[in-house]
Structure formats: structure tokens, C-alpha cells
Amino acid sequence: MPKKIIKRLMPDHQDIKDNKYLKVFGNLLHNPHLWHMNRHSVAKAFAIGLFFAFIPVPFQMVLAAGTAILIHGNLPLSIALVWLTNPLTMPAIFYACYIVGTWVVGAPAQEFAFEASWQWVVDSLSTIGPSFLLGCGVLASVFGIIGYFGIQALWRYSVVKAWQQRKNR
């Protein structure tokens, strides 16, 4: 069942409540609806987490947490899914965002060499930036929608399968 797998992989409630960046939300973190594991809260969490994983901003976890609080998604799962983009996966994911952005705009992909400097980032915003940011928005939306409806379908399938197994016994 997806619920058991997700519960096993989720971070601890107290670790999230004690996170120094999430202290901004204060008592809002104590809302019990943010910690429930049901089809709707988990689907919302997947949509939130996958959406913000593709948005290239610092403090993605805080944005995901704020959104989860606003729409009552599962908070720990929303935060955990943001880490889909980590230092190992970020180059491939963001390059895919750039390629999708160039495809949507209809512009040819430009050759570039990454440099870990602020000046490179500022210079690149005018050349590859628009395609990259558009690609991030497109992939964030697409994967957020796929995550939401995919979890809804997987959860329903799991429940129907469990009912059929009970019926057969």
C-alpha cells in the first residue's frame, strides 16, 4: 500500500517542527491536518513538492511548507519531495528545464560552460535565462499535475485491490 511506504520514508514530525527555517510558521506547524496521511493530503503534497523541486530558488523547503500549510497538504512529504533536486540531480534536471524552455520558445539551444560564480549567473540571465526559467515553470507545472493525479490514481488502485483481496478471502 502506498501509505505504508510513504510513512516509512517521511521525515520525523519533531525534526520538521524544530527546523530553524520553518520556525517562521510558528504554531501553524501544530495543525494536525498537516500531518495526516490520506489520499487528498498526500496528493497535494506530491503536487507541492514536485512543483517546488523544479523552481530554482533558495529555500525551496520554506516555500513548499508555506504552500502545504495554505492548502492543507501533508507537510513532511511536501518538504521531503523538494529534495528531488539535490546537488547530484540538479545539473541534469536544470539542463532538462533549459532544453524544454528552448523547445517552448522555439529558440536554438546555446552552448555554454557553467562557472560557479555570481558574475556568470548575472551574465547568463540575459542569454540562457529566459529559456531556463520558462522550462522550469513548464516542468514544475507538468510534474506537479502528474504527481497529484498519479497519487490519486495509485491510491484508488491500491484501495480497490485491497478490497478485492478481502472479498476473495
pTM > 0.75: yes
1 pLDDT exceeds 70? no
Question: In this structure, are residues 80 and 9 in contact, taking their beta carbons and an 8 Å threshold?
Answer: yes
CA dihedral angle for residue 67, residue 5, residue 9, residue 93, rounded to 10 degrees: -70
Going by pLDDT thresholds of 50, 70 and 90, the confidence category of residue 128 is: confident
Digit-coded pLDDT (tens) for 27-79: 777 777 787 888 999 999 999 999 999 998 888 989 999 999 999 999 889 98
Question: In this structure, are residues 135 and 96 in contact, taking their beta carbons and an 8 Å threshold?
Answer: yes
Domain range summary for the chain, segments of one domain joined by + = 2-168
87 pLDDT exceeds 70? yes
Q: In 3-state terms, the chain is what percent helix, strand and coil (to 5)?
A: 75, 0, 25
What local confidence, expressed as pLDDT, does residue 116 receive?
A: 64
Digit-coded pLDDT (tens) for 7-29: 676 666 677 767 777 777 777 77
What local confidence, expressed as pLDDT, does residue 122 receive?
A: 75
Residue 98 CA to residue 114 CA, distance in Å, equals: 13
CA distances 73 to 8, 19, 41, 161, Å, are 18, 18, 4, 25
